[in-house]
Structure 1
């Protein structure tokens, strides 16, 4: 990949990068056991690709990667204690409804700027319902392993059909591996970070 900067340059022009600074502990709400297994498998695969770790529990939060499936955004307002974790929930739900959104991600960060927690919301509209579970799972796992730009995958998605199967695009996998290189910082706001990432892709 010639230039990785656009992957972390937001629509307002700011360069913002972050990776997880602690083991990932996922929990998925609103799906059956089979779908749950698919999502956990996808998360495990992407975490392994990054060379990062998973754990059984987070000392502060219990789980730090929470995924919620719903049919209507209003359902989020009925999830017990979710408003305690996300004080902005009351204003977020009307915004998601107004935008007719079918997915949304919120990240929390520690003092070093690393990802501390992530909340993933998916509304199963017609578009989502038609996507195979493994495609949804891999897509979401990729999009929470790093803090990508809000426009990173607007033109080219992170997944592609490779030998008849949906898989992570190799160049995106390379970026994830490079981003988790132990010598790289957990967070960055200077575009020179992209040059260091790029140097690890050669």
Structure 2
């Protein structure tokens, strides 16, 4: 099991700031750029992670329609041609340029409600050789886990949120699942920038 410091590190950004946020509204996913078979896998992974969190899904968001959007592309330049995407992602041109310069394969952008809760999440995946080699179920589960909370930008830089069982199945690492479940405890706030929240998460993880 993790230490309190390790829990804190999962919500600490590169600049040293702490930021925790969870969804404050039901999640409505939509997926672009995949076939129907992959679509069902991705939505199934989202449903599984939402169920673990004890959160809710819905058929539509009354304000946004869909609020968890997945975009699968072969090249980042494709994003420049997505209708209305520039209205949802400020400075889209510069974002694409940064992703191209960094050789990035994934990018997530969050939007927040007035209380700091997650309002929407945009997940962009450039299907390079590494991502393309992953089983669709593994890729979907990992991305769903990274969209259910506002993690620090280095949370999974050295270790993915997934683990492989002896029978070959891929699951969330137990400590990651425990953090997700703890993060949706009704007593906790939807968002918090105080590092003491990590201790509250840790206590709930230890309590099971």
TM range (shorter): over 0.9
Work out whether 1:173 is the aligned partner of 2:149. Answer: no
Among candidates 162, 169, 190, match of residue 186 of structure 1: 190
Work out whether 1:14 is the aligned partner of 2:17. Answer: yes
- Residue of structure 2 in register with 1:40 after alignment: 43
**After TM superposition, what 4+ stretches of structure 1 lie above 4 angstroms from structure 2?**
none
The DSSP-based 3-state class of the residue aligned with 2:144 is helix
CA deviation digits over 1:109-157, x for unaligned, max 9?
0100000000000011111111110111000000000000111111221
TM superposition shift of 1:37: 0.3
- Residue of structure 1 in register with 2:3 after alignment: 2
Aligned residue pairs total 202
- Residue of structure 1 in register with 2:155 after alignment: 152
Structure 1 CA distance, aligned partners of 2:174 and 2:57?
22
CA deviation digits over 1:69-123, x for unaligned, max 9?
0011111111111111113211111111001111000000010000000000001
- Residue of structure 2 in register with 1:196 after alignment: 200
Q: TM-score, normalization: structure 2?
A: 0.95
Question: Unpaired segments of 5 or more residues in structure 1?
Answer: none
Q: TM-score, normalization: structure 1?
A: 0.98
CA deviation digits over 1:7-36, x for unaligned, max 9?
101111101000000000000000000000
- Residue of structure 2 in register with 1:26 after alignment: 29
The DSSP-based 3-state class of the residue aligned with 1:22 is coil
Work out whether 1:106 is the aligned partner of 2:115. Answer: no
Question: Unpaired segments of 5 or more residues in structure 2?
Answer: none
Once superposed, what is the RMSD of the aligned Cα atoms? 0.7
